């Protein structure tokens, strides 16, 4: 009989703080790089260079003996995630960092709805209220009719939906194959899905842009690794609220490094969304479910 590992909440919080730092660095670097490179090309270069970190895992991928159905699901997930990454890169260079960060919190809300529609998960009244609150948070951020809703905002709204689709497919696959295979195959299929889109709009990247995207790949990979350490040390209900600090950091970064105005409505909307996600996560923990992802789990 196996013994459950003890919870170490302070360790989990520490690793989630480190995760937040790594993902904020990803955000800052992409913002600094600017919009010169097409979003599809920038996303492709980030994932292509990230494949080098998977070299030690290629043996496990070859030994997975996937079925045709699983290959199909991995392909579908790659397409979903590739579209989300393109939209994220597009939005990041066109709207403030804080708004991208806040709207990224919507993905777990969509996962809750998708789990009910496609995975047969019950959608109880409390979860319905939490979903409505999450969408209200998005409305607070966007404030349609009171401010311009730009193409970058629309891109992030769609990105949250397709990231949620990617996560739902991952949940199905995680019940059938090892977690490392799920992560590795995602990187491979996202790179393959991005390749033709990147080639169709290709322009020659500068040495600085290649270096930035290489560092982005390093930080993103490190972020996913430390997020795994956080999950291993403490329940998601402990680590989830820590992700709100990313919005605080993103707001400060945007103001100090990119002269972006601080918008209290964005912070308020992000707080409403993340409160909704945290409540859903807590309810699933009480019911012994694992559907809603941590907000970081849908990042690039």
- Model confidence over 3-45: pLDDT tens digits? 455 567 888 889 989 999 999 999 999 999 999 999 999 999 9
- 30 occurs within a structural domain: yes
Domain count, the chain: 1
Containing structural domain, residue 279: 9-298
The mean per-residue pLDDT over the stretch 163-176 comes to 86
Instruction: Name residue, tokens 């309810």.
Output: 283
Which range, 135-139, 148-152, 193-197, 261-265, has the best average confidence (pLDDT)? Answer: 193-197
Domain contains 2: no
Please report whether residue 29 resides in a domain.
yes
CA distances for 7 relative to 18, 217, 229, 284, angstroms: 18, 30, 12, 18
Per-residue pLDDT, averaged over 49-73, amounts to 82
Asked whether residue 219 carries a pLDDT value surpassing 60, the answer given is yes
Does residue 131 sit within a domain?
yes
Q: Is a pLDDT exceeding 80 seen at residue 207?
A: yes
Please determine, for residue 292, whether its predicted confidence score (pLDDT) is greater than 70: no
The tokens 């209220």 sit on which residue? Answer: 129
Name the range with the highest mean pLDDT among 12-21, 48-57, 62-71, 166-175: 12-21
Residue 212 has what pLDDT? 96
pTM of the model: 0.85
In a domain, 294, yes or no: yes
Average pLDDT over residues 270-279: 87
Residue 3 lies in a domain: no
Beta bridge mates, 144:
147
Q: Please state, in angstroms and as integers, the Cα–Cα distance from residue 300 to each residue in 18, 30, 79, 99, 150, following that order.
A: 16, 11, 14, 16, 22
């Amino acid at each position: 009989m196996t013994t459950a590992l003890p919870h170490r909440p302070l360790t989990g919080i520490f690793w989630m703080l480190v995760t937040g730092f790594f993902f904020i660095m990803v955000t800052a670097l992409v913002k600094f790089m600017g919009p010169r490179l097409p979003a599809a090309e920038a996303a492709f270069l980030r994932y292509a260079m990230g494949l080098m970190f998977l070299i030690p895992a290629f043996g496990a991928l070859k030994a997975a003996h996937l079925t045709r159905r699983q290959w199909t699901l991995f392909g579908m997930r790659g397409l979903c995630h590739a579209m989300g990454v393109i939209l994220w890169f597009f939005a990041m260079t066109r709207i403030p960092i804080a708004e991208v960060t806040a709207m990224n919190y919507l993905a777990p809300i969509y996962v809750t709805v998708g789990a009910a529609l496609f995975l047969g998960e019950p959608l109880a009244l409390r979860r319905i209220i939490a979903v409505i609150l999450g969408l209200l948070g998005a409305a607070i951020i966007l404030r349609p009719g009171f401010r311009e809703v730009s193409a970058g905002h629309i891109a992030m709204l769609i990105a949250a939906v397709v990231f949620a689709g990617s996560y739902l497919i991952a949940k199905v696959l995680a019940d059938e194959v090892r977690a490392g295979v799920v992560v590795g195959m995602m990187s491979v299929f996202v790179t393959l899905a991005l390749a033709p889109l990147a080639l169709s709009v290709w322009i020659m990247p500068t040495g600085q842009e290649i270096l930035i995207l290489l560092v982005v790949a390093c930080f993103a990979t490190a972020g996913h690794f430390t997020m795994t350490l956080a999950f291993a040390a403490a329940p998601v209900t402990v680590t989830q609220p820590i992700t709100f600090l990313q919005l605080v950091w993103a707001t400060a970064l945007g103001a100090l490094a990119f002269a972006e105005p601080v918008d209290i409505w964005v912070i308020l909307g992000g707080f409403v969304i993340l409160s909704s996600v945290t409540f859903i996560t807590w309810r699933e923990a009480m019911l012994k479910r694992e559907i809603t992802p941590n907000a970081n789990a849908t990042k690039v």
